[in-house]
Amino acid sequence: MTKNIKALLLQAELFRKQGLLGDARKKYKLVEEILLKSDKLPNKQKLLEGLAKKVAALDEDVKAVERAPSTPEMSSHVNELIKKLFSFAEKDKDENDAALEGAIALAKFGQFDGALEEFHKLLQVMSVRVSAAKNILRCHLEMGNPDGAHTQLAQWQGSDLFSPEQFEKVTAFFDEILEKKGLKKEIAQAPGATAEVSVMEEDEEEEFLDISAVAITFDSGPHKGEQVELDVSFQSGNVISLIISSRDEHLIESLKVGVRLDDVHFYSPVAIFRGSGIVSAKTQIKSGPKKGDFSIDIKIESL
């Protein structure tokens, strides 16, 4: 038993050192359980005290991680680098598009002051003016400063920077994000999900059971009446992907896009479910080790 405890403590220490705080905590807790259950250990109380100290120290580490700023101010050198590394528009084609992307990248990384400065420069450029304006408003909102956004908007209204149509676009956009933000009020943001300029586009993917394999019984075609078992390579929500070797011509033939599969067994870690699905995509893999094989997506209809 003490050997077991030693091994667990060794792991816990290593996990802590590597920053795997949750895993370390679990091991400490496991040791605690073992200690509490045993009544033969002479130094049990002391061991428990020592352990409690370790767990407390670990909890301090966790707090420090949670407290750490998610958007530190960075040197102008690093800001320049981000702008350069994350602007994807072809630079010779349109310098201003590239500059806009660079500024958006800054905002995404939470560097709002730097981003605002860039966007304000870009307001002077006709082709990106509206985008720059929208992003200025977003920055203010992301900085937790809606008043700043309103003030800015009022200021623009009084100037002749925008044409009426352009200004309309900007205000419509602003109303929309305000509304979405309002809806989002209840949902606490995860720490670090910072400066999500695209946060409004995020779709809440619903939890779906993990399917590891399927067994399909065909009711027509060359495999009629047969049950074919296939591994699931990937899953995204209710869409599973299978890879089928180019040698299985009949199978590939049977799994046409749009085909309904009425008798499918879905193997999940908890149980096997019977249900149906529809072949939603079929693509031949053009390169790499699986070249020539087919990737088939099946949308699960019912479980």
Per CB under 6 A, residues contacting ligand GTP are 17-19
Please, which residue, 52 or 64, has the CB nearer to another protein? 64
Tokens of 240: 């599973």
Instruction: Quickly list DSSP for the chain.
Output: -HHHHHHHHHHHHHHHHTT-HHHHHHHHHHHHHHHHH-S--TTHHHHHHHHHHHHHHHHHHHHHHHHS-SS----HHHHHHHHHHT--S-TTT-HHHHHHHHHHHHHHTT-HHHHHHHHHHHTTSGGGHHHHHHHHHHHHHHTT-HHHHHHHHHHHHTSSSS-HHHHHHHHHHHHHHHHHHHHHTTSPPPTT-TT-TTGGG---PPP-----EEEEE-SSSTTTT-EEEEEEEEEETTEEEEEE-TT-HHHHHH--TT-EEEEEEEE-SS-EEEEEEEEEEEEE--SSTTTT-EEEEEEEEE-
Please, which residue, 18 or 38, has the CB nearer to ligand GTP? 18
Q: Which listed option, ligand GTP, another protein, none, makes contact with residue 68 (CB within 5 to 8 Å by class)? A: another protein
| Residue 265 near residue 272, CB atoms below 8 Å | yes
Q: What is the smallest separation between the CB atom of 20 and ligand GTP, expressed in angstroms?
A: 8
| Residue 206 near residue 265, CB atoms below 8 Å | no
Q: What is the smallest separation between the CB atom of 194 and another protein, expressed in angstroms?
A: 8
Please, which residue, 225 or 289, has the CB nearer to another protein? 289
**Distance between CA 174 and CA 168 in Å, rounded?**
10
Please, which residue, 57 or 257, has the CB nearer to ligand GTP? 57
Name the residues that contact another protein, by CB under 8 A.
7, 10-11, 14-15, 18-20, 23, 26, 61, 64-65, 67-70, 72, 74, 78, 81-82, 85-86, 88, 90, 105, 108-109, 190-194, 196, 198-199, 231, 233-236, 243, 283, 285-290, 295
Q: What is the smallest separation between the CB atom of 23 and another protein, expressed in angstroms?
A: 5
Q: What is the smallest separation between the CB atom of 204 and another protein, expressed in angstroms?
A: 13
Residue whose Cβ sits closest to ligand GTP: 18
Please, which residue, 11 or 254, has the CB nearer to another protein? 11
Q: Which listed option, another protein, ligand GTP, none, makes contact with residue 108 (CB within 5 to 8 Å by class)? A: another protein
Q: What is the smallest separation between the CB atom of 8 and ligand GTP, expressed in angstroms?
A: 18
Q: What is the smallest separation between the CB atom of 272 and another protein, expressed in angstroms?
A: 20
Please, which residue, 21 or 34, has the CB nearer to ligand GTP? 21
Q: What is the smallest separation between the CB atom of 116 and ligand GTP, expressed in angstroms?
A: 28
Please, which residue, 190 or 270, has the CB nearer to ligand GTP? 190
